[in-house]
């Protein structure tokens, strides 16, 4: 994994990651700035948690090293 591969403006996953981070900021602002009912607070917290998990998955996928050209897939790789 390479941290430098996280920034890929031509990859749609990069822009989805940016969007999810902006959504996290908006949810956090709403939760802190407004006095909401317990049900709404729990719903927004669940969305924020799901947002974090999806963001981590996308970041890990972006940072994964691409397979080297011309080399066979590693043992146990089920991709065709």
pTM, rounded to two decimals:
0.71
Handedness of CA 27, 45, 8, 2 (dihedral sign): positive
Residue bearing tokens 């948690």: 49
pLDDT at position 55 is 93
Rounded to the nearest 5°, which phi and psi values hold at 57? -60, -45
pLDDT tens digits along 4-46: 888 888 889 999 999 999 999 999 999 999 999 999 999 999 9
Mean pLDDT, range 40-54, rounded to an integer: 94
pLDDT at position 79 is 60
**CB burial string 32-66: b at 16+ within 10 A, e below:** eeeeeeeeeeeebeeebeebeeebeebbeebeeee
- The yes-or-no verdict on residue 69 having pLDDT over 80 is no
Mean pLDDT, range 55-78, rounded to an integer: 73
Host H or E run for residue 21 = helix 12-33
């Amino acid at each position: 994994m390479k941290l430098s591969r996280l920034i890929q403006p031509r990859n749609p996953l990069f822009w989805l990651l940016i969007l999810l981070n902006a959504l996290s900021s908006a949810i956090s602002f709403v939760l802190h700035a407004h006095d909401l009912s317990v049900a709404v607070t729990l719903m927004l917290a669940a969305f924020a948690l799901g947002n974090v998990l999806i963001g981590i998955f996308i970041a890990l996928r972006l940072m994964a090293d691409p397979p080297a050209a011309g080399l066979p897939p590693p043992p146990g790789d089920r991709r065709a």
